[in-house]
């Protein structure tokens, strides 16, 4: 017997299972070094490992993952990336530099790995974040199967297609409130913006790399996206495996900043009484937005657990701009402000009654799998589309009107989700959705079947 620890849980692996594993064949996984992309790729690694494949994760030195929460026979290989620490401030240039700088070291590593493999289990292919389009040339040259992994959803992909068809011309003001013809629950203003020709070229390369892959793996499930599914499949015309929500296969390992004391604080709170607030790993806010959020929370009278990442408030280190009176609420036990939490555990905690989120796709999936209704404040990328799915398609949350960050509007919106009859309806629908997701993950369910088909496809082509 051997064991490893994942999210505080000790997982025991017996030798028989290990032997079956080594019979599976070898896969290389290439994540994009952003939290919202890394987490689902690592969950996919765990899923494929549990299905018998041996796994090497090839990652950048920039934002390298913490291997401690994963089985010891998952290999982590770091490659030089030439990226600077502040690279995350400009996502378009991060993407460009990743694709420029990583091709040579990844190619060298894979060629060396392949030449040392004689007598070992077969090298079955590369699974790469769909944004790392440079992998396509390497896989073609090495004649390897290539699987594009989409960490966000199908509706966003279709949204990107619609935007890029228009070119990078700015959307006219009078068009913003118009519904999108093929996906009428979206408005034109929800579509991803492709403002510069640089980004337009990058998106084109990502779409090409997805279309020309051997197959596509997507962290979603068909029950969530009936509207976009036919257009997604029609555009790709290659096998598509909808295996989400992947975070149900493992817990993200804690980072150095993870504050576990919030769980014991939640243990002292009444069921469904606390609103959890987090805007993910990238969104930043202004000092005045921080103050409006604080007063909106205070006036809502609901208890709160609030994640404020260091340096995520403009011109400040952390929460120094909060008024003294608000800090008193915290000392009086009404709330906690922390730097990072074990989010999957927080959302699964019975004390949580609502989630005020920026509508990142991982946060959205993590919330619906626990039946937690949402208050959405989307900012960029896929977030507006995700917020529309939440509010207009699944009916499990609301979007703050006009994306307002004003204390009165925030107070009213929190009460709509946490107190009003409307919120009780959202909770009921969220619990129904949670059940549907559980069914899809159980034996015979759609995500379970997709993951079994993926295993067969990787092994047999």
Q: Which helix (H) or strand (E) holds 354?
A: strand 352-357
Which residues lie below 8 Å from residue 23, measured CB to CB, with a gap of 6+?
Answer: 52, 121
Determine the Cα–Cα distance for residues 265 and 14; give it in Å rounded to an integer: 36
Residues 312, 363, 399, 413: which binds ligand UDX (CB under 6 A)? 363
Residues 56, 210, 383, 451: which binds ligand UDX (CB under 6 A)? 383
Task: List the interface residues with ligand UDX, window 146-175 (CB under 6 A).
Answer: 151-152
Least separation, in Å, of the C-beta of 247 and ligand UDX?
Answer: 7
Q: Determine if residue 102 is left, alpha or beta; phi over 0 gives left, psi from -120 to 50 gives alpha, anything else beta.
A: alpha
Least separation, in Å, of the C-beta of 88 and ligand UDX?
Answer: 10
Residues 362, 377, 391, 447: which binds ligand UDX (CB under 6 A)? 362
- Select from 2-10, 128-136, 277-285, 326-334 the region that touches ligand UDX (CB under 6 A): 277-285
| Structure tokens that stand for 15 in this block | 């030798």
Task: List the interface residues with ligand UDX, window 297-336 (CB under 6 A).
Answer: 307
Q: Do the strands 274-278 and 75-79 form a parallel or antiparallel pair, or are they unpaired? A: unpaired
CA 388 → CA 83, 356, 398, 429, 433, distances in Å? 34, 15, 9, 15, 16
- Give 37 or 222: the residue with its C-beta nearer to ligand UDX: 37
Where are the alpha helices (H) located in 62-126, listed in sequence order? Answer: 91-101, 103-115
Residues 381, 388, 399, 455: which binds ligand UDX (CB under 6 A)? 381
- Give 34 or 132: the residue with its C-beta nearer to ligand UDX: 34
Least separation, in Å, of the C-beta of 141 and ligand UDX?
Answer: 30
In degrees and rounded to multiples of 5, residue 397 shows phi and psi of 180, 180
Least separation, in Å, of the C-beta of 340 and ligand UDX?
Answer: 4
By beta-carbon distance, which residue lies closest to ligand UDX?
Answer: 36
Residues 21, 37, 63, 427: which binds ligand UDX (CB under 6 A)? 37
Number of residues that bind ligand UDX (CB under 6 A): 25
Least separation, in Å, of the C-beta of 38 and ligand UDX?
Answer: 9
70 binds ligand UDX (CB under 6 A): no
Q: Determine if residue 78 is left, alpha or beta; phi over 0 gives left, psi from -120 to 50 gives alpha, anything else beta.
A: beta
Buried b (16+ CB within 10 A) or exposed e, 173-204: eeeeeeebeebeebbbebbbebeeeebeebbe
């Amino acid at each position: 017997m051997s064991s490893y620890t994942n999210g505080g849980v000790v997982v025991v692996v017996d030798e028989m299972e290990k032997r079956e594993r080594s019979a599976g064949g070898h896969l290389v996984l290439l994540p994009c070094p952003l939290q919202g992309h890394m987490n689902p790729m690592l969950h996919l690694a765990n899923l494929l490992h549990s299905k018998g494949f041996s796994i090497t994760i090839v990652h950048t030195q920039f934002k390298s993952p913490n291997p401690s929460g994963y089985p010891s026979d998952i290999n982590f290989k770091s490659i030089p990336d030439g990226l600077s620490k502040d690279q995350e401030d400009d996502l378009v240039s991060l993407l460009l530099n990743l694709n420029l700088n990583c091709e040579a070291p990844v190619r060298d590593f894979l060629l060396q790995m392949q030449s040392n493999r004689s007598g070992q289990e077969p090298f079955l292919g590369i699974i790469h974040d769909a944004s790392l389009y440079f992998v396509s040339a390497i896989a073609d040259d090495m004649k390897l199967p290539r699987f594009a992994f989409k960490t966000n959803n199908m509706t966003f992909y279709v949204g990107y297609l619609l935007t890029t068809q228009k070119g990078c011309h700015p959307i006219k003001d009078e068009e913003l409130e118009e519904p999108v013809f093929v996906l009428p629950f979206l408005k034109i203003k929800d579509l991803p913006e492709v403002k510069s020709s640089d980004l337009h070229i990058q998106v084109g390369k990502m779409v090409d790399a997805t279309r020309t892959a051997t197959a596509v793996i997507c962290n979603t499930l068909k029950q969530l996206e009936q509207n976009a599914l036919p257009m997604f499949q029609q555009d790709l015309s290659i096998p598509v495996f909808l295996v989400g929500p992947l975070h149900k296969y493992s817990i993200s390992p804690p980072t150095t900043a993870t504050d576990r004391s919030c769980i014991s604080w939640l243990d002292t709170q009444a069921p469904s009484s606390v609103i959890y607030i987090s805007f993910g790993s990238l969104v930043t806010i202004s000092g005045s937005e921080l103050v409006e959020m604080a007063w909106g929370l205070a006036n809502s009278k609901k208890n709160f657990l609030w994640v404020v990442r260091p340096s995520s408030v403009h011109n400040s280190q952390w929460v120094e701009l909060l008024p003294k009176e608000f800090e008193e609420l915290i000392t009086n036990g009404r709330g906690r402000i922390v730097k990072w939490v074990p989010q999957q555990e927080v959302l699964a905690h019975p004390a949580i009654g609502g989630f005020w989120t920026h509508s990142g796709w991982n946060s959205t999936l993590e919330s619906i799998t626990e039946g937690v209704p949402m208050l959405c404040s989307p900012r960029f990328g896929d977030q507006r589309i995700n917020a529309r799915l939440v509010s207009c398609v699944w009916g499990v949350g609301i979007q703050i009107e006009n994306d307002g960050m004003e204390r009165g509007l925030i107070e009213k919106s929190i009460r709509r989700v946490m107190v009003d009859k409307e919120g009780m309806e959202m909770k009921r629908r969220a619990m129904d959705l949670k059940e549907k997701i559980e069914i899809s993950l159980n034996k015979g369910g759609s995500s379970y079947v997709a993951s079994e088909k993926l295993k067969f496809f990787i092994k047999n082509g």
